[in-house]
Amino acid sequence: MARRRALVRKLAAVETLGSTNVICTDKTGTLTVGEMTARALYVADQHYEVTGEGYGPTGEVHFEGKKTEASHTAPLLELATVLLGCNNAHIVREEGVWKSIGDPTEGAMLVAGGKAGADLQLIESQLPKQHEIPFDSDRKRSTVIRRMPDRRLRAFTNGAPDALLQHCSSIYTRDGIRPLTTEDRDHIHAQISAMAKQALRVLGTAYRDLESGFSAFTAESVELELVFVGLTGMYDPPRPEARDAIAKCRAAGIRVVMITGDHPHTAAAIAHELGIASGNAAITGADLDKIADEDLRQRVNDIAVYARVSAAHKLRIVRALKANDAVVAMTGDGVNDAPAIKGADIGIAMGKSGTEVTKQAADMIITDDNFATIVVAVEAGRGIYDNIRKALQYLLAGNTGELTLMTLCVVVGLPSPLLPIHLLWINLVTDGLPALCLATDPVDSDVMKRRPRHRLESITDRHFLYTMFFTGCLTAGVAFSVYYYVLQTGTTQMARTYAFAVLVFAELLRSFGARSETKPVWRISLATNVSLVIVVVISFGLQVWSQNSAMLSGLLKTSSMPLADCFLLLAIGAIPLLVLEAVKFVRQIQRHPPQEIQLQT
């Protein structure tokens, strides 16, 4: 799992991964690249296009397809000053690549402000920072208070535009500052929706001049009576592998639910692009507040996108899903995400952006913050569970065969067909080494085409027990037939030798069929588990050598056996494998049309 960039903090989480049927995931940095690029600016009722990609300084601000003229400088500079003034990111160049040190959104704001004409060094020197009110997921805003050249204090605020507008009373225009009217608010909301429908993450910008002697630097006292300046639309492209990972989840019976703090139109656009939801509607945190817990439980299975949600909303969503008997995996990175992560069946923290508190609350940490890695972890978890199951079934079926053989001989009054040393040899050599190889078998390519296991399903279900007893009876039947036949024509020691050999051969050959409960052995490439082939060949050689070596035959109390008889017993030992594979084939024909079986073969 660690090699797949998934660090498991609690071992039981690996088993739970196989039962996961809902993955609740954040958008930014998980489903998307996490590299913001400002594409659009809106200030003083004018729209501007920002060119350039990534965090590099190359690019310009265009108006109607042309580079901005001097008449547009003042509004753009006003917007750019707030973007840079309320910012803690830094842009650096490492190995020829421009990177953002800090929040990706603030990095994009920094680049956009520079392209719009602001100078970060000039702002830092002439407008020194006095206080900072950091971003909060409930407020959805951050504020930095700086001292202006005339000694006044000014609060620069950036945040979610719909939340920011509620605290604005004025608007910046080309003709100066005037009161914010209802018509203005409707017009700004229309601009926000238009940007969001283009899959842009929209950020609002505002400021406030504080009175002389102001000292109550709290969000409640500072972030009110703000002057609305403009909007910034940023694009965070979806990860190329995310769409395929979501399609794989759908084939595996796993629902993907997007939970984000972005605008609902932005969330819906990205969700539609990635194949999470076909519609354009998203449930917001405000909508959730109007829904009772019981109503949410009834509706939660039909909702795929949540936007503008808080940490408390995430916990409600997780509880509603679990109330419907879903096995939920929840991702998060902030401190406020810890309750939801703790409340989920599988809590997943982001290794890069996640806080230490979130990582401590999580069951698993994704080191690359990539949604595709979560799907890979689920696939690995299913594969590990399957390998444990197949190794356990292989061992128990072998022991059942030995026990059945011994019991059958006692019931009919025959001498014991196996000595204690034979049982020890079988358990150490014949069963132990192949079982280890089965436990490390590569993940089946079809593991993500199956429905998730039910959370209450036992590893030893009815099919497991039926296969175990049926396999044990086949193995015991073959060994008893050989033992009884040789006992009639030879000595007891020779009969034990032949029964011992055919039992070993049957177990070794059966290990190839034990690699899958559904696929016939001819559809499983031996090259995918070379260690099993080597173990079977070596074990076969050891068994033949033990019957022709004086030292080993004395230890195992066996008699010598012609090589021709070894191959005859090998053919007889293949009978259980052939019968089991025939049963698999018949079941496959019952599940699929013959034409499909032929194509798969």
Catalytic residue list: 26
Strand pairing class (90-94; 97-101): antiparallel
288-311 burial, b at 16+ Cβ within 10 Å, e below that, comes to beebeeeebbeebeebbbbbbbbb
364 and 14 Cβ atoms separated by less than 8 Å = no
Q: What CA–CA distance (Å, rounded) separates 389 from 396?
A: 10
Please measure the distance between the N-terminal and C-terminal CA atoms of the chain and give it in whole angstroms. 31
Nearest to 333 by CA among 304, 311, 317, 316: 311
Half-sphere exposure of 155 (CA within 13 A, CB side): 32
One-letter identity of residue 255: R
Grouping H, G, I as helix, E, B as strand and the rest as coil, residue 347 is strand
* Token pair for 397: 């079926």
User: Strand ranges (DSSP E) for 185-333?
Assistant: 201-210, 226-235, 255-259, 283-284, 305-307, 328-332
* Token pair for 400: 């059942």
Nearest to 146 by CA among 193, 94, 81: 81
Q: What are phi and psi of 38, to 5 degrees?
A: -70, 125
Question: 11 burial class (0-12, 13-18, 19+ CB within 10 angstroms)?
Answer: exposed
Q: Is the dihedral of CA 367, 368, 370, 372 positive or negative?
A: negative
* Token pair for 339: 């309750």
C-alpha to C-alpha distances, 166 to 62, 104, 170, 172, 185, nearest whole angstrom: 30, 25, 11, 16, 9
Q: Name residues whose C-beta falls within 8 Å of residue 524's C-beta, 6 or more positions apart in sequence.
A: 512, 515, 516
Residues in the chain: 601
273 Ramachandran zone, left/alpha/beta (phi>0; psi -120 to 50): alpha
3-state secondary structure 489-543: HCCHHHHHHHHHHHHHHHHHHHHHHCCCCCCCHHHCCHHHHHHHHHHHHHHHHHH
One-letter identity of residue 417: P
Grouping H, G, I as helix, E, B as strand and the rest as coil, residue 157 is strand
Nearest to 234 by CA among 266, 264, 207: 266
Question: 448 burial class (0-12, 13-18, 19+ CB within 10 angstroms)?
Answer: buried
